Amino acid sequence: MSLIPEALRHRLIQLRRVLHQYPELSGQETNTAAVISKFLQGLGIECRTNVAGHGVVADIPGKAGVRCVVLRADTDALPIQEETGLEFASVHDGIMHACGHDGHTTMLLGAAALLSQEKDLPAPVRLLFQPAEEKGTGAISMIKEGVLEGAGLIFGGHLDRHYRPGTIVVSEGAVNASSDNFTVEIIGQGAHGARPHESIDAVVVGSLMIMALQTIVSREVDPARPSVVSVGQFHAGTAPNVIAGQATLEGTVRAQDPTVRQQLLNSVRRIAESIAQLHGAKIHIVVTEGTPPLVNLPELAGLARRAAVDAVGEGNVLPLKTANMGAEDFSYYLERIPGAYVRFGSQVPGREGFPAHSSKFDFDEEALAVGAAYYQAIAKIAGRQLQKQAASI
C-alpha cells in the first residue's frame, strides 16, 4: 500500500529530478524558489518569497487561536562537480545537490499537497523552505525575518544513506554536533634552508601544533562524549630552499555537548599558544563559532516517533545507530522553540559508500513519499498538542 496517492508519488519524483538537474548554491536559489512557489500556488497555497534571500514561507490555515506547527526544508546545493551518471544529473558545472536538499524540498512540497486537502487541521501549518543551510546562515536569517512569530513547535529531517528506504530514524538527545572553525596564524622568522639556526621555522611550529591538537579529543575529553578536532588546511612556504617565516592552520571543532564544545575551543587556544611560546614564535588565533548542537528533547522526540509510526509503521521506526558529527543549522530554531529532527532512510544498493557531500551521492526516491507522509502526520499530531495547550490557557 502506498504511503501517499500514486499520482502524487510520481509527481514528486519528477519534481525532485528537476530540482536535482538545476541546483543552485547558497544565496543563489532563485530558480529553486520559483519552482517551489509555482507548486504551492498550484495547490492554492499563498506564499511569501524572497524571505532572507531566496526563502519561501507558506501558511496553511488551521484552527484559530492556536499557534502554528512549523515544517522546514533546506533548498541549497553544494560546489561539487557531479559524477553520479544519473540521467537527470546537474547541468550546472561544479554545482550539485550532494546532500539531498532536493529531496528535502520535494518532501515538504508533497506534505503541502497532502495538508492542503485536510478539511480541519488542529493548528495552522507553516512551511519554511530555507536557503543557505550549507553556509550555516540560512536559519538565523529566516528567524530574523520573523518566520517563528506565532509558532509553537517545529520539525525537520534529513535523508540518511546509513538506513534502508522506508524507515525513519527518531532519537532523543544529540542528533547533530556543533560546528566551529579556527584559524591560527604563525609568525616566525624566515631564513635560508641551509641555515636553519637563523630561523624560527613556521612549518615545524605548525606541524607540532597539528599533532598536539590531535591529543585534545584522545586525552582531554570523556570518550563517552563524541567530539572532533580536525585541521583541514596548512599553508606555508614559498620555495624548497627557504625556511618559512609564516604559516596558517585552519580547522574545525565538533561536539554534541555545549560544555565539551567550550572545552575543545579553550584547548585549541591553549595548545597553540603554548607551542608557539615554546619555539619563540608569535601567533594570532581567530575562533569563529558556528551552529550549536542539535538536541531532541525526550517529549518532542516522542511526538516525532508517534508521527513516524503513523507514517511507516512501528517496525520501520529506528533509533540512531551512531553519533552524527555533522552540523545542521536547524539547531538555531530549536534554541527558540521546541521541536525535533529526524532522519529518513534512503540507502541506494551499490552506492552505500558515497556519503553526503560526495560527487556520487544519491538517494532512494522512495524516501520522498516517506517524508511527505511523516510531515503530514507530525503536522496533525503536533497540532493537536498545541490545540490542547491553547485550550488549557
What structural domains and CATH numbers belong to the chain? 6-176+293-392 (3.40.630.10), 180-288 (3.30.70.360)
CA distances, 290 to each of 66, 212, 250 (Å): 33, 23, 14
Cell of 321: 545507530
CA 345 to chain centre: 16
| DSSP per-residue letters across 110-138 | HHHHHHTT-SS-SS-EEEEEE--TTTT-H
Task: Decide: 373 and 188 in contact? Cβ < 8 Å.
Answer: no
Cell of 124: 495552522
| DSSP per-residue letters across 126-172 | EEEEE--TTTT-HHHHHHHTTTTTTEEEEEEEEEETTS-TT-EE--S
| DSSP per-residue letters across 168-200 | EE--SEEEE---EEEEEEEE-B-EETT-GGG-B
Question: pTM value?
Answer: 0.94
Burial label for 191, CB within 10 Å (0-12, 13-18, 19+), is middle
Which residues face 243 on adjacent strands? Answer: 191
Indicate the helix (H) or strand (E) that contains 354: none
Which are the contacts of 265, defined by CB distance < 8 A and separation ≥ 6?
Answer: 180, 182, 253, 287, 289
Task: Decide: 71 and 64 in contact? Cβ < 8 Å.
Answer: no
What digits encode the pLDDT tens for the residues 288-297?
Answer: 999 999 999 9
What digits encode the pLDDT tens for the residues 172-230?
Answer: 999 999 999 999 999 999 999 999 999 999 999 999 999 999 999 999 999 999 999 99
What digits encode the pLDDT tens for the residues 311-364?
Answer: 999 999 999 988 789 999 999 999 999 999 999 999 998 777 789 999 999 999
Task: Decide: 21 and 88 in contact? Cβ < 8 Å.
Answer: yes
> For 387-392, which contacts have Cβ atoms below 8 Å and span 24 or more sequence positions?
387/63, 387/66, 387/122, 387/123, 389/67, 389/152, 390/65, 390/66, 390/67
Would the pLDDT of 1 be above 60? no
